[in-house]
Structure 1
């Protein structure tokens, strides 16, 4: 089965995990904007070089360059054959409109936008639960991946841990607020197009994926 999908969700909602499971089951190419930017720059494509010029100056890459890199990726044979799963794009309404035009120009359409929904308070707990061994750098999570013996690194036996500044609750809350502001108009945009499917991401990973698979089955029927 070939699908044209967008995966949405706030940081920590589990998009990466679900993308991997979709890829394993359906072999739909997973298109992460970070990955295609790096690939376009490495291959020195016209759009890749344009993006690099902005990134090297520490500036945001304009929408027209981002759209061009996505358009190039969506024209590749694996996507034309097997569909796509976009992750990290579109990030605003102008990009969403550009994507609609790209697909219309090649006689394609979006099958589904899957929004993995998790309450921000739960995400703060998830994202701020990460801690790191100061001696060997092993990473743990108090909720999902704690040390086997409390206070002792599984790898080196150290008892010295720390938390990165960007994992601290206040920083996490600020990051989530920025993402909520960015995502809300897109959620409304795709809801109005009748392609949005919101899934409760606060449950076990396999239960979330069952709902994802049910959505994909329904759009394929």
Structure 2
């Protein structure tokens, strides 16, 4: 399956992305991983991205998309599909990704949007900050990230909704409960003739 996983910081994307990847035998691809790999390897793309990363700025779309295209082209592991975790982030990236996939391996099968109430997300981030000591989980930083996410993601949700790919999944509850909901949703995507259960 070719999937995108959307969700605000603290929604459980990392946890659920790893589960989807393991269950379906597809790689989970995040732009953070791509930046790290290319920068560590000292590639031309890595050098182009590094100055933005080090300055704490957004890496331009053309560099991000070149990295994504490079990753999809290199890997036999993408033959059965892939999961983009937190990418695309903007409507321009989504539209460029649509064109790239249509011209290569085929369009996305679904965009899974983890829907979690903002107060629940903030509670999770507070707990994570306490247990993992993550700087980006300070509450004011978390609120800022949630605000940016909401602004960026609204057009994405509309875009994927209009082309019939958006699948909103309730992201509250235990990781196991959320995983069951996601699998039910993906089963319905793979076999639309079967009724949803539960």
Q: TM-score scaled to structure 1, two decimals?
A: 0.79
Matched, 1:169 2:167: no
Q: Which residue of 2 aligns with 1:208?
A: 178
Structure with the higher fraction of residues in helix conformation: 2
Check the 8 A contact 1:29/1:82 in 2, yes or no: no
Gaps of 5+ in 1: 133-138, 141-162
2: distance between equivalents of 1:39 and 1:75? 15
Task: Figure out how many residues of one structure are paired with residues of the other and give that number.
Answer: 191
The SS at the match of 1:128 is helix
Check the 8 A contact 2:129/2:135 in 1, yes or no: no
Q: Which residue of 1 aligns with 2:65?
A: 67
Choose the corresponding residue for 1:20, options 18, 21, 27.
Answer: 18
Instruction: Check 1:131–1:22 CA distance in 2 against 1; reply closer, same or farther (3 A cut).
Output: closer
Structure 1 or 2, whichever has the larger Rg, is 1
2: distance between equivalents of 1:208 and 1:164? 24
2: distance between equivalents of 1:131 and 1:8? 21
Aligned pairs for 1:11-160 (under 5 A) are 11-130=9-128, 132=130, 139=131
Deviation at 1:219, TM superposition (A): 2.0
Gaps of 5+ in 2: 192-198
2: distance between equivalents of 1:194 and 1:95? 18
Instruction: Check 1:46–1:120 CA distance in 2 against 1; reply closer, same or farther (3 A cut).
Output: same
1: distance between equivalents of 2:55 and 2:181? 43
RMSD value, Cα = 2.0
Q: Which residue of 1 aligns with 2:169?
A: 199
Instruction: Check 1:189–1:131 CA distance in 2 against 1; reply closer, same or farther (3 A cut).
Output: closer
Q: Which residue of 1 aligns with 2:196?
A: none
